[in-house]
Structure 1
């Protein structure tokens, strides 16, 4: 229950919906207990009327007594049916309040988890796989909802019914009540013992399910690679192995429950036998009537469902506790990147790295070592270097996906850690190396950063990214749906749509992380000409592999193993005949060989 205490704030929020539900539980159980007393009166009445009927054997009045007897039984039968109807009505109200409220809490909890996911930093998503994240916001929340709704409802119902029934039994005959309830403490001990096992099994089942979900999600994401390497059988075998592990854990829990339920039924049956035996002795001594035995049997029978459902409710609570524990692990995770300054921030575009060093927290790889440079508003900085030299790390740090370990990054003279992060990012256009497009129309993908869809602006951004002609060639043009069931775009088209998405924001800082790698030289020149107009008076950072892409930059950084090996203009670096010159000569030779 420690983990489930997190939900108390939701119970407080919806208290005026839950309290009527508790009231309906009490009323419905009152009408569940009353029939037992009616049956006791009817049973005693039957015994007395039979004796009277026999006494008038041979007299005319016997027929009248029979009619009175029959009408009395009909009245008591109708009364029992009426009690059942009224109880059913209040049970309906009970479910309409408690179960409905559980759906509201489920909705709030899912939104809270999703909101927290969005606040967490990029490092969090590198540490956790997508399948596990999805499982916690879907399957885990569903299991918690079963605790909030059915488990709590049946727990309150059982508690109220126990109090009413035990109170009624004690008021009739204390000795018979004690003997009838003897098996219940044994049942409580059994439940206590089984609880710990159910909890352990539930946590393991959830872990297995997360692993299985992650495996499936990863397989579907990389289905082209699977098919290309003819690894369908290997993947299928892996899925069967994961499914088998999940099945075995689930069967293990089911076996425990299979032993649990018969034991509970045995205890309830034992209560009935004890009631009849001890009750019979009490009737013989004249302390109670035969109707009281019937009343007690009804009470014990009424306790059968609550007691047998106790195991199911226990399982629901334990599963919910295991799921809520997994949810709490993420909800308690603090984002490494925070937005400490809510004040407005108006971006001009001056950027400076001062002795910046950075090591990735999840891998321990040092990506940058004592990097320093400055970009003034309106300048174009190009960054080039071998794979793994730290180029993309500079882009990530500029977007503040991570915070530096040493040194500082200044934006308009202010440390990036202390400016309004949302305001800064809203005026920064970023084209990542790994392009991601949403399952939506091309127009909505380009206008992703906009509050409204303005087609004139979308079309202009597509022209600036040199992808307008490609889009117009599609049957539905900008309304073409891309994604899992939509048209498949080439790598170059995806990159250019991603560029259009960045420049439509009209940002003050533009960051292009090797976004022209999938286009040919001719298309690259066309894009750069278009971007030249867009980047005018804007601070731009262009990360590339090809020297031809960056030779017109105001300044060029050459990175090597996380350090700045060379820094200057194209002409200056060519004269120095260093690493930049070698890259230029090598690429020039490769182009000549291809031509």
Structure 2
């Protein structure tokens, strides 16, 4: 393997270090197994040479020797297989946990650039490939490698001349193995991407199954899935072809060398005198080499697959986490928020989505952000919990730059309810108290009542203990939204962000939520992104955005009187509502 491969494998083996005792037992088992192979050939030599002058003790001892050898082999097989599987399972577990642990701490930009299917494949398919390198490959590499060493040592001891003949094919075998390994490694990377595409296409189609069925797009999605699966099949077939060619080619080389040795050994005067037992022992040892050599050549493919998976997994583990240089961690804040000359580009090549935005939100104040889609409202509120880094300017929270806060302390002061509600396949109570290790049932109920969710929760079969399915599939859109708002209320943060939080509610539910928000916002700083202007008429102030710029700010009445952008938006919505559109 190339230097990079050794570096990867040595890093993988560092995960073995905590389980060195089990690993040592596995290695002991491999030594016992490998030595038993050599003992078999030695026993055959003694038996053949002893046949000419058999004795009672000889007839008694030889069967016991064979029984002892195979007991030794059985013990070795158990120790190597069980304890290596134990260590391998621990290694894969640690890798999966490390990948997941780092993945959930990566910046939002990472998830913007990677599909869900590819990310999931790191913890499923690629982790399984690492299992091949961490368990099967390591077991076979050590066990069969030591078998080769023992057998070659015995052959050299019996007849070093014949052994040198056999060793002449070693460089050729090395070239074949090296070429096959490089090709398998390259193909493994392609297969990982192909499997990620399969997972991505499947997850999109299954999660959006209602849209698929509504548009009668089953055949379209099936065609996408077939294309992705066919690409995976082709790459797997190329990998299999490489392995299938390399293995018999190496076996043929070994067989040719073995045949040549037999010819030399049977030629009078060529190799000198050897006893029948030595001849049988030598040929048997050489023949027994074929299986471990074959296994070693095949296992190189598994190692390369595992190392290719390791590269991808370690890339995620090594990916830089969200920057968290802040140390300020107050237990409680007032909630004053200042946006000071804030500008944002998601990447240097992108155009600015926010341009020099400046305004202040005082503690306990409710400020609404309105404007056409794509005007930068959501981008602005995403900067407050530091989901993205500022391009220019600063954001102050209680007079401190948000970068001075530790991420945990900063986000503990902020609750976010977005238009795209995320719920978990657990009980309603656990969804409302999400993240609380010791949730309070009383607080859960209070939060549900404040969000006007209690009235429908009580009607469910198991009430607050009802499991709601994947992302709350058993609930209506309005019910899901109210649970999300109850979760924000339960969190009891000083800053509340509502990003189109009432968009999925019917008129009656919207009125309930407006009443709830009136009570909630008294002790919280509230930023509301709203499309329906009727929901934010009572806001303390309204900030109007257009193409990333703050163009107007004032109360509902002041902005209507100004007859600017807000008044135009209001007229359009009033016109649509009055015509029923």
- Name the counterpart of 2:32: 27
> Alignment partner for residue 547 of structure 1, among 513, 525, 533?
533
- Name the counterpart of 1:466: 452
Judged with a 3 Å threshold, the aligned counterparts in structure 2 of structure 1 residues 187 and 73 are, in CA distance, closer, same or farther, namely farther
Deviates most, 502-511 or 338-347: 338-347
- Name the counterpart of 1:496: 482
- Name the counterpart of 2:405: 419
- Name the counterpart of 2:108: 122
- How far apart in 2 are the matches of 1:89 and 1:415? 65
> Alignment partner for residue 21 of structure 2, among 16, 19, 24?
16
- Name the counterpart of 2:123: 137
- Name the counterpart of 2:84: 98
Q: CA deviation at 1:588?
A: 2.8
Give a deviation string over 1:247-280, Cα, whole Å, max 9, x none: 1111122122222222222223224323322222
- How far apart in 2 are the matches of 1:226 and 1:422? 39
Q: CA deviation at 1:523?
A: 2.6
Residues 1:398 and 2:384 aligned together: yes
Give a deviation string over 1:172-195, Cα, whole Å, max 9, x none: 221122223433332222212222
Q: Secondary structure at the match of 2:16?
A: helix
Q: Secondary structure at the match of 1:331?
A: helix
Q: Secondary structure at the match of 1:584?
A: helix
8 Å contact from structure 1 (residues 179, 278) kept in 2: no
Q: CA deviation at 1:452?
A: 2.2
Deviates most, 259-268 or 490-499: 259-268
- Name the counterpart of 2:552: 566
- Name the counterpart of 1:59: none
- Name the counterpart of 2:248: 262
Residues 1:451 and 2:451 aligned together: no
- When Rg is computed on C-alpha atoms for both structures, the one with the higher figure is 1
8 Å contact from structure 1 (residues 98, 149) kept in 2: yes
Deviates most, 142-151 or 8-17: 8-17
- How far apart in 2 are the matches of 1:6 and 1:339? 28
**Which residues of structure 2 form unaligned runs of 5+?**
none
TM-score for the superposition, normalised by structure 2: 0.94
Residues 1:160 and 2:146 aligned together: yes
- How far apart in 2 are the matches of 1:238 and 1:575? 54
8 Å contact from structure 1 (residues 135, 210) kept in 2: yes
Deviates most, 570-579 or 511-520: 570-579
- Name the counterpart of 1:377: 363
Judged with a 3 Å threshold, the aligned counterparts in structure 2 of structure 1 residues 487 and 141 are, in CA distance, closer, same or farther, namely closer
Q: CA deviation at 1:415?
A: 0.8
Residues 1:84 and 2:70 aligned together: yes
Judged with a 3 Å threshold, the aligned counterparts in structure 2 of structure 1 residues 339 and 528 are, in CA distance, closer, same or farther, namely farther
- How far apart in 2 are the matches of 1:153 and 1:147? 9
Q: CA deviation at 1:213?
A: 1.2
- Name the counterpart of 2:44: 39
Q: Within 5 Å, which residues of 2 pair with 1:308-457?
A: 308-341=294-327, 343-344=329-330, 346-361=332-347, 364-457=350-443
- Name the counterpart of 1:291: 277
- How far apart in 1 are the matches of 2:257 and 2:63? 26
- How far apart in 1 are the matches of 2:197 and 2:570? 47
- How far apart in 1 are the matches of 2:463 and 2:194? 44
**Which residues of structure 1 form unaligned runs of 5+?**
50-64
Deviates most, 84-93 or 11-20: 11-20
Q: CA deviation at 1:451?
A: 2.2
> Alignment partner for residue 209 of structure 1, among 195, 215, 218?
195
8 Å contact from structure 1 (residues 347, 424) kept in 2: no
- How far apart in 1 are the matches of 2:511 and 2:575? 19
Q: CA deviation at 1:343?
A: 4.7
- How far apart in 2 are the matches of 1:486 and 1:521? 21
Q: CA deviation at 1:89?
A: 0.5
Q: CA deviation at 1:283?
A: 7.9
TM-score for the superposition, normalised by structure 1: 0.92
- How far apart in 2 are the matches of 1:557 and 1:286? 100
Deviates most, 173-182 or 121-130: 173-182
Q: CA deviation at 1:342?
A: 6.8
Deviates most, 22-31 or 561-570: 22-31
Q: How many residues align?
A: 576
Q: CA deviation at 1:286?
A: 5.5
Deviates most, 297-306 or 496-505: 297-306
Give a deviation string over 1:224-261, Cα, whole Å, max 9, x none: 11111111112112211221111111112212222222
- How far apart in 2 are the matches of 1:481 and 1:307? 55
Give a deviation string over 1:436-484, Cα, whole Å, max 9, x none: 1111222211111322232221121111112221222222222222224
- How far apart in 2 are the matches of 1:162 and 1:485? 55
Q: CA deviation at 1:372?
A: 0.6
Q: CA deviation at 1:435?
A: 1.0
- Name the counterpart of 2:572: 586
Q: Secondary structure at the match of 1:482?
A: coil
